Chain A
Amino acid sequence: GENVEQHPSTLSVQEGDSAVIKCTYSDSASNYFPWYKQELGKRPQLIIDIRSNVGEKKDQRIAVTLNKTAKHFSLHITETQPEDSAVYFCAGHPDMRFGAGTRLTVKP
């Protein structure tokens, strides 16, 4: 299956700052790249995804960028808010193997 590696494992930012989480993958044939958010005690939920035919996708304060040459994709959160505090996971496709997660803490 597709293995994904995620960095950093923890990230602490001040409210209003930006946060960037990076995920690398191994299978050059991969064509779909999702990011999931898991709040404490809740189930993971998809927040944004990107397909290999585009390099960037935005949805309000979150964006995902894809670098197929380097085989990595990144989650960008701008103007962070305390409610962005959660664990974020990237995943491979279609076997949906998740990265180890990044615990984001946004300090007010």
Chain B
Amino acid sequence: DTGVSQDPRHKITKRGQNVTFRCDPISEHNRLYWYRQTLGQGPEFLTYFQNEAQLEKSRLLSDRFSAERPKGSFSTLEIQRTEQGDSAMYLCASIRQGNTEAFFGQGTRLTVV
């Protein structure tokens, strides 16, 4: 599969623990986006990167959330001190330079117990 890959697919963690998710975009896609989606809602924008530069971060994103894309390829999203309200599907999408269509990964479903 040469699409956007996310790992893990599912994560169950205890409240207060830190979690890290990984996204591997399609090769040569320079823009990468992170979203959070809860049941019945649209994907909520979290942040996006152009190559390794983080260009925008949602004001809704607390300081417990951080994302990196150190070499302009894969990206990680870390949530520190998880809360039950963080339970959601975390989606990653990538877009090729000069193009407009976003390709989504299958997501990481986080459950905080």
CB atoms of B107 and A43 under 8 A apart? yes
Name the one of B41, B93, B107 contacting A96, with C-beta atoms under 8 angstroms: B93
CA of A68 to CA of B31, assembled, Å: 26
CB–CB A43/B106 < 8 A: yes
Mask for A49-91, Cβ within 8 A of B = 1, else 0?
Answer: 1000000000000000000000000000000000000010101
Task: Give the tally of cross-chain contacts (CB within 8 A).
Answer: 52
Q: Is A108 an interface residue (CB 8 A)?
A: no
Least Cβ–Cβ distance between A36 and chain B, in angstroms:
8
Question: Which of A6, A46, A101 makes the CB contact (< 8 A) with B102?
Answer: A46
Q: Which of A1, A34, A87, A98 contacts B100 (CB 8 A)?
A: A34
1/0 per residue B35-77: CB within 8 Å of A? 1000011111100100000011000000000000000000000
Q: Across the interface, name the chain B residue whose C-beta is closest to A91.
A: B102
Q: How large is the interface on A (under 10, 10 to 19, 20 to 34, 35 or more residues)?
A: 20 to 34
* Chain A residues, CB < 8 A from B95: 94, 96
Nearest CB of B to A83, in Å? 20
* Residues A32 and B100 in contact, CB atoms below 8 Å apart: yes
Judge if B1 is at the interface, Cβ distance under 8 Å.
Answer: no
**Contacting residue for B43 out of A46, A95, A98, CB 8 A:** A98
Residues of chain B from 79 to 93 with CB closer than 8 A to chain A in the complex: 91, 93
Contacts of A99 in B (CB 8 A): 42
Find the A residue at minimum CB distance from B93: A96
Q: How far is the CA of A93 from the CA of B26 in the complex (A)?
A: 19
A-B CB contact pairs (8 Å), 5 listed: A1-B45, A32-B100, A43-B106, A45-B104, A89-B42
| Contacts from A to B (Cβ < 8 Å) | 1, 6, 32, 34, 36, 43-46, 49, 87, 89, 91, 93-101, 103
Known: A1-B45, A45-B104, A98-B43. 15 other contacts (CB 8 A): A1-B56, A43-B91, A43-B106, A43-B107, A44-B43, A46-B102, A87-B42, A89-B43, A93-B100, A95-B48, A96-B45, A96-B48, A98-B45, A100-B42, A101-B42
